[in-house]
Structure 1
Amino acid sequence: MTSGDSRPDSSSQPKPGRLWFGTSLGQFLKAELKDSAARRVAALRLFVVTLTIALVSQTLHIPPLGAISILICLSYDAHANAGQSLAFGMRQLGYLIVTTLVSVLTLMLAGNDPWLLLPLSFVILALSLFHARLIAWPTGIALWYSVAVLYNPSTPDENIYHALWNIPIIGVLALGTWTVVHLTIKPQDPLKLLKVEIATQLAAVEYIFSARLADAGAYTPRPEANMHAAAGSLGKLLGLLANAELIHPALHERHQTYRALLLEIDGLRQLADWLNQVLAAEYRAQPLTPEKLHVYRALQSACAQLRYGLAESRDVSAKVTSLLRDDVLQNYARETNPSLLTALWRALQRIAGLTHDLHQPIVATDSKNINAESDDNPEHSWLPAWFAYEFWATHADSVQFGIKFSLGAILCMLIVESLGWPDINTAIPTCLVAAQTSLGADYRLSLLRVSGAAVGGICAYFYVLVFQSQLDTIVGFAFATAPFWALAAWITAGSERIAYLGRQLGFSFALFVLHDFGQVTDLYLPRDRVIGILLGLIVMGVIDYALWPRRSIALARHHGVAALRTLANFTSRLPDVSHLLTYTLPLRLSAEKELAAAQDLLAHAVLEPDARLAEKVHERAALRALVKDTSHLSGLLQVRKRYRLLSGQRFSHFPDELQQLSRAFDAELANALEYAARLLQGEQAGNRIELAKHQAGLQQSYSDHHRIDNLADDLAVEWELRFMLDQQIVELIAHIEKTALAAVSYPQKSGSEIDLQ
């Protein structure tokens, strides 16, 4: 993602705008409106949904919830697979039913008493926004409640009627149509998508083995393209698995086996990827010994067999086991000589064993332990966590989020009522829809919301002046409005950088056209709707800036600190491979989530008021470098863990002194990461740890104990690779410390910059 901080080399070049992710407006629109097969399918889905809602709204003359229904459907993921669609639709329907009940009860108890209605609504909105922020879910509950209760607070009886219509209109018409369309128009089976992703991972590993054989002149033809899968894709694989279990319930009984399989495949890819990166060109060109050649050919063939078996749902474990015979490996590396190829060998054997388990009858004890990973979490108390003070202290930011945006919605309602101008009540949902994680994200969404409202208003005026006076049938209405629904659907089907513009365009257009046919004599409605949106943005902008301002750069730093402290738990030696699933996997997913959040926040930081100050530009550059290095470090630490567990290293047979040195080095790595986290947080970090010195001492101890100087060249290279891994980790941590210091201390001399490359 382009940062938006880059500067042109000369004054003749157009200056990139920070509003458009570091590009000009033309470049931004060209990139974001680009055609693709996936976008056409997503746009078609949204077009069918919006047109269906519009036609039903016009035909049945239902209460004015059609525009809200269109906004809701445009706000959901148009690229969702079948499992995502089903899960999202069912979950939102449940939330809608609860919201309707709460709305009706509120109106019955406090509808005629404004002094009770306002504080009660404030509490309900704050709790719903807190819940949405806590689980990273859309703010639909707060939006639905505000439409039912706060749009016209002076008519509580009529509001109860409209609130009850939420279930058939928003629940059945909107959510039902959205779900059915996604399940009928080119539905994507998440299980098939999962198999494709697994095949891509294994193809990447197979390519690395083939390329290694080709470099040594032992394999023809040479692979033409690197099918390397993107790093950090394990979260995507686990998400597809969860979606597949909804469509194929039988998979749920093998949940643990699938999770272990996905983790092993991802670990295999990481090991192979690191090996491919560190082997020097001159070493690659050397001929392979016969023993090493047999190992590489067995690895390549086993990987190809597994890829075929998983893609075709066949048990190929017997063939893979015959390829991965231990005598072939031991001819190259004996048990006393750990190697990276041994780790790759054992990883493929584990994958073959797990694929075999998938084709066996389910054992009753297995189905009882589907959620066994939760047993490794901290002990559960009989008292819910939200009764404890620690829960609210930990999520204080989410509490502030709920309070601020609820206050904005209540203030907008009071302004609308005091002015006696009901047509600007779009200010109320604006405060709730525009609720974002940071100040910069709020500003970016506000820009898209105003732009979408303006374009939607222009489209509405054009429709009224050219078409509406000539329409007297629903067929004519469908043909006249179809181009505008298609435009909104196409923009919304793009990336999140532009999708909200399409949502607001469709919503603004629907607010005006979903009424009646015939001649129009007053064109005030589009104007008032846009004024309401501007009012909501102004109110929220002032509140967000004055009350607990959540600066993107500060939040990004906070997520970076959390990621570093999570990685500090990666350094310890695990007792066995099973702990990769129960201990390391949750930590890894947590670290990846923190780093992804930090990266998104840095993209929004360029919109904040002081973003162009030199120290802020410097801080963003330092944090970007830190996020990149921390992500790289996460991969290296996972490779290190797998090497220790699978390479044949017999740690328990090492002398006590060597074991103590190894554990001490692990502890120093954790301390160094904690030191970097404190630096980034701006705290007193204490004395810097000399990791390089500890690593050099440990390397010398290993060399003396294993007599590495007397080993054959290939086995000596295996140890060199192992030492290189530790050296890379040490150097990367040192660079992270340097970058963390740069992120909190801006150099006073003009032009002096800390090297962040």
Structure 2
Amino acid sequence: MTRGDSQPVSSAQPKSSRLWFGTSLGQFLTAELKDTPARRVAALRLFVVTLTIALVSQTLHIPPLGAISILICLSYDAYANAGQSLAFGIRQLGYLMVTTLASVLTLMLAGNDPWLLLPLSFVILALSLFHARLIAWPTGIALWFSVAVLYSPSTPDENIYHALWNIPIIGVLALGTWTVVHLTIKPQDPLKLLKAEIATQLAAVEYIFSARLADAGAYSPRPDTAMHAAAGNLGKLLGLLANAELIHPGLHQRHQTYRALLLEIDGLRQLADWLNQVLAAEYRAQPLTPEKLNVYQALQSACDNLRQGLAESRDVSADVTGLLSEEVLQGYARESNPSLLTALWRALQRIAGLTQALYQPVDAAGTSDIDQQSDDKPEHGWLPAWLGYAFWASHADSVQFGIKFSLGAILCMLIVESLGWPDINTAIPTCLVAAQTSLGADYRLSLLRVTGAAVGGICAYFYVLIFQSQLDTVVGFAFATAPFWALAAWITAGSERIAYLGRQLGFSFALFVLHDFGQVTDLYLPRDRVIGILLGLIVMGVIDYALWPRRSTVLARHHSIAALRTLANFTSRLPDVSQLFTYTLPLRLSAEKQLAAAQDLLAHAVLEPDARLAEKVHERAALRAIVRDAGHLSGLLQVRKRYRLLSGQRFSHFPDELQQLSRAFDTALADAIEHAAELLQSKQPGKRVELAKHQTRLHQSYIDHHGIDSLADDLAMEWELRFMLDQQIVELMAHIETTALAAISTPQKSARDIDLH
């Protein structure tokens, strides 16, 4: 999807295109309302949930909480697998109990004392928002607390009664219905999904080997299409593993083995992808030597066996070990001539060993090296981290986040009470719902919230004018409202770019038709709801813009800097392959998380007040280029690290001079990445590192020591690939440094111009 800025306004591109991710409104709706099989299932789940809650609400006479239950259910992931659904339901139920306890205690202690109720509510809301921001979880606690305590502060006794109803109504009706529906309507076993994803990864690698054989004329049955696994997919796979462990508790005992297996398969795919990208067409067409042909055929067969074995849950490690015979590999590349094919060979051997461990009996006495390394963590002090100043200082942004949005909710409550207009109390949760990562994200969500509320109100009026007078049974109510629940469910089942509009549409419609028993006569409700939302957005917009504004581009810059500094740690040379898992995995996940956050923030930056200024457009373009290049650099550094550890290089046997040059290049590379981060941070950077000179000296040293000029063509090509990898990293770092300078040059120039005037 397009995440960039809109181009200069012209007749061919509407001015409002920045609101729709660089497209026109028609193109946006066409893409976001598109029909897919997965969306049908997700929409069906949401439709069943909303219709069930509406019918139960009307039958048992609990309309107010019924509307809130519908909003809650529409807010959850409709595509969740069975493990994810169960985990989400249990976790939210726990949060609901905490919220109920906090609400009841607050009302009992301070319900009749406004001077105590307001500051106590402010503290609870701020802490709950801080916690939600810290763990990247929906702001459910703050939202439920505000509904129970702040909606009608003048009636604390009734509020206690309503708060006590939260658990049976919201917990059982909303969370229970949502969980049961997701576990009933086409439930997806996360373990099966995990195995399918692993099979897709291995199929992508197998395709590369098969295509290489076909290009060289040595393998006729070339696959019709490539099965590509998305890059940066490791986080998704680890999430599926966590979900699978909830459904299949036995997997807990093999947790670290599975994590190591996923990392190894991901590393194998990265190596194969890079090889596939760098081989020139004329080299591909050359016939393979018999030795190299044997290696490729063994790799392709081993990959195929592993894929089938993992998909069918059977141990094929013995067959793979037989295919990956050392005699076959040594016939092509000896230890003195490290190669990328050797790295691929060792990676498949490691994967075979890990798959074998999955099918062996779990022996507590025989703890694997991976488990021992994973448990080897530094001891913490006896005091919890959150009691120290360093914890709060490092999370200052989350603290400010909690303070701002809880202050907005308190102010809206005071405005609603001072006006004596209780029907606009939707302003209070609006401040909490609008709590997003940045100003741009706030504005985009606010637009969807207002639009969804307005469309939901129109649907409610249509229902009253056309259908309501003709209905006198619950069955008629179900048939009349079903199209509106279906519409809300279909929109909500879309991507996050439009899903919130569907949630608000469903909530607005439910709040209206479930407001009271029998026929709805309060036609002012949709109007007051929209007015309340607008009030909340105005109050929160003013506070958010005036108090610690969180600019999308500034936050994207910070995430990019953090990602670069994480990547600088990738340059360290590990002593042996046993540390690959414990060292690489945390860095890999951290870098991916930071880059993904930066990319999302830049997508929202176009909505901020000064987004169309030339310097802002220039800055966003530069940051997007840095995020893209940093993601590419991350892949290259991981390929380089695996090549070093698995390609047969015996670094300790190299001459001292070559070892020193290699370590000097590693240090220079880390310094260059840190230099780029300092440039992006607008700090006074140190002296620029001449990375290309270090790479040239190292290149020449390898040529002299290994006599590369006298090697056979295939072995010389292996060394060329190794040098090409370093060259790509050097060129990419030069581009990142240039882009970082461009990202700060325009803002600094603009600031100097302001000072001069």
Which residue identity lines up with residue 448 of structure 2 in the other structure?
L
Q: Distance in 1 between matches of 2:552 and 2:10?
A: 30
Name the counterpart of 1:753: none
Q: Which residue of 2 aligns with 1:733?
A: 733
Task: Tell me the SS of whatever aligns to 2:436.
Answer: coil
The unaligned stretches of length 5 or more in structure 1 are 751-757
1:60 aligns with 2:56: no
Q: Distance in 2 between matches of 1:581 and 1:705?
A: 31
**Match of 1:30?**
30
1:598 is matched with: 598
In 1, distance between residues paired with 2:685 and 2:661? 24
Q: How far, CA to CA, are the matches of 1:12 and 1:432 in structure 2?
A: 38
Q: Within 5 Å, give how 1:57-96 maps onto structure 2.
A: 57-62=57-62, 64-96=64-96
Q: Answer whether contact 1:470 1:518 (CA < 8 A) is retained.
A: no
Cα distance in 2 for partners of 1:368, 1:155 equals: 61
Q: Supply the AA of the counterpart residue of 2:93.
A: L
Across the aligned residues of Structure 1 and Structure 2, the Cα RMSD in angstroms comes to: 1.6
Partner of 1:744: 744
Identity across matched positions, percent: 88
User: Mapping of 1:138-149 within 5 angstroms?
Assistant: 138-149=138-149
Q: Deviations over 1:347-386 (max 9, x none)?
A: 0011111111111100113679996565444432221111
Inter-CA distance 371–422: structure 2 relative to 1 (3 Å threshold): farther
Residue 183 of structure 2 is matched in structure 1 by 183
Contact 2:427/2:533 (8 A) holds in 1: yes
Is 1:346 the counterpart of 2:343? The answer is: no
Q: CA deviation at 1:522?
A: 3.6
Structure 2 letter corresponding to 1:618: H
Shift, 1:472, TM fit: 1.9
Decide whether the 8 Å contact of 2:370 with 2:581 is kept in 1.
Answer: no
- Partner residue in 1 for 2:133: 133
1:236 aligns with 2:236: yes
Question: Whole-Å Cα distance in 2 between the matches of residues 16 and 534 of structure 1?
Answer: 21
Indicate the larger mover: 16-25 or 335-344.
Answer: 16-25
| 1:326-405 paired onto structure 2 within 5 Å | 326-365=326-365, 375-405=375-405
Alignment of 1:520-599 (within 5 A): 520-599=520-599
1:699 is aligned to 2:699: yes
Residue 723 of structure 1 is matched in structure 2 by 723
Answer yes or no: is the 8 Å Cα contact 2:619–2:746 preserved in 1: yes
Query: d(CA) in 1 for partners of 2:663 and 2:242?
Result: 37
Q: Secondary structure at the match of 1:218?
A: coil
1:467 CA drift (Å):
1.7
What 5-or-longer segments of structure 2 have no aligned partner?
751-757
- The aligned counterpart of 2:287 is 287
- 3-state DSSP of counterpart to 1:364: coil
Q: Which residue of 2 aligns with 1:439?
A: 439
Post-superposition Cα deviations, 1:456-483, rounded to whole Å, max 9, x if no partner, equal 0001111111222332211111111111
Match of 2:489 in 1: 489
Alpha-carbon distance in structure 2 between the residues aligned to 1:9 and 1:451? 24
Contact 1:347 1:646 in 2 (8 A): yes
Aligned residue pairs: how many? 750
- Equivalent AA in structure 2 for residue 360 of structure 1: Q
**Quick check: 1:562–1:594 contact (8 Å CA) kept in 2?**
yes
In structure 2, C-alpha distance between the alignment counterparts of 1:368 and 1:459, rounded to whole Å? 60
> Would you say the 8 A contact 2:63–2:517 is kept in 1?
no
**Deviation at residue 223 of structure 1 after TM alignment:** 2.0
Residue 467 of structure 1 pairs with residue 467 of structure 2: yes
Structure 1 length normalisation: TM-score? 0.97
Change (3 A) 1:370 1:95: farther
Q: Is the CA contact (8 Å cut-off) linking 1:570 and 1:584 kept in structure 2?
A: yes
What is residue 662 of structure 2 aligned with on the other side? Answer: 662
CA contact (8 A) 1:254 1:370 kept: no
SS at match of 2:223: coil
Work out the CA distance in 2 between the residues paired with 1:553 and 1:699: 39
Distance 1:395 1:117 in 2: 27
**Separation of aligned partners in 2, 1:694 and 1:519:** 80
Matched with 1:754 is none
Cα distance change on mapping 1:383 and 1:79 into 2, 3 Å: same
Give 1:3 deviation, angstroms.
2.7
AA partner of residue 650 (structure 1): R
> Residue in 2 aligned with 1:755?
none
Does structure 1 retain, via aligned residues, the 8 Å contact 2:513–2:520? no
Shift of the 75–9 alpha-carbon distance from structure 1 to 2, 3 Å rule, reads closer
After superposition, the Cα gap between the structure-2 partners of 1:630 and 1:378, relative to the gap in structure 1 and judged at 3 Å, is farther
Secondary structure at the aligned position of 2:331 is classed as helix
Q: Amino acid of the residue matched to residue 68 of structure 1?
A: I
How do 1:246-285 and structure 2 match up within 5 A?
A: 246-285=246-285
Distance 1:373 1:87 in 2: 28
Structure 1: distance between partners of 2:456 and 2:125: 28
Q: Does structure 1 retain, via aligned residues, the 8 Å contact 2:512–2:520? A: no
Q: Distance between the aligned counterparts of 1:615 and 1:695, measured in 2?
A: 35
Q: Which whole-Å CA distance do the structure 2 matches of 1:566 and 1:221 have between them?
A: 43
Cα contact 1:189–1:244 (8 A) shared by 2: yes
Amino acid at match of 1:259: R
The reply to whether residue 425 of structure 1 matches residue 425 of structure 2 is: yes
User: Partners of 1:249 and 1:8 in 2: how far apart?
Assistant: 55
Distance 1:658 1:370 in 2: 32
SS in 2 for 1:578: helix
Q: Letter of the aligned partner of 1:79 in structure 2?
A: Y
For the structure 1 residues 91 and 517, does the alpha-carbon distance in structure 2 shift closer, same or farther, using more than 3 Å as the test?
closer
1:596-619, Cα deviation, whole Å (9 max, x unpaired):
000000000000000000110010
Cα distance in 2 for residues equivalent to 1:659 and 1:667: 12
Q: Deviations over 1:718-739 (max 9, x none)?
A: 1111011011011101100111
1:104 and 1:504, CA in 2 relative to 1: closer, same or farther beyond 3 A? same
Deviation of 1:14 after TM superposition, in Å, equals 4.3
Paired letter, 1:635: G
1:375-427 deviation line (CA, Å, top 9, x unaligned): 44443222111111111111000000000000000000000000000000000
Distance in 2 separating the partners of 1:71 and 1:519: 22
Please give the alpha-carbon distance, in whole angstroms, between the structure 2 residues aligned to 1:354 and 1:374.
16
The answer (yes or no) to whether the contact 2:9–2:15 under 8 Å persists in 1 is: no
| Aligned mates of 1:46, 1:367 — CA distance in 2 | 44
* 1:343–1:643 Cα contact (<8 Å) kept: yes
Question: Residues of 2 paired with 1:33 and 1:366: CA distance?
Answer: 53
Secondary structure of residue in 1 paired with 2:526: helix
Q: Does the CA-based 8 Å contact 1:234-1:263 persist in structure 2? A: yes
In structure 2, the CA distance between the partners of 1:151 and 1:14, relative to structure 1 (3 Å rule), is: closer
CA separation of 1:11 and 1:295: change in aligned 2, threshold 3 A: same
Equivalent residue, structure 2, for 1:319: 319
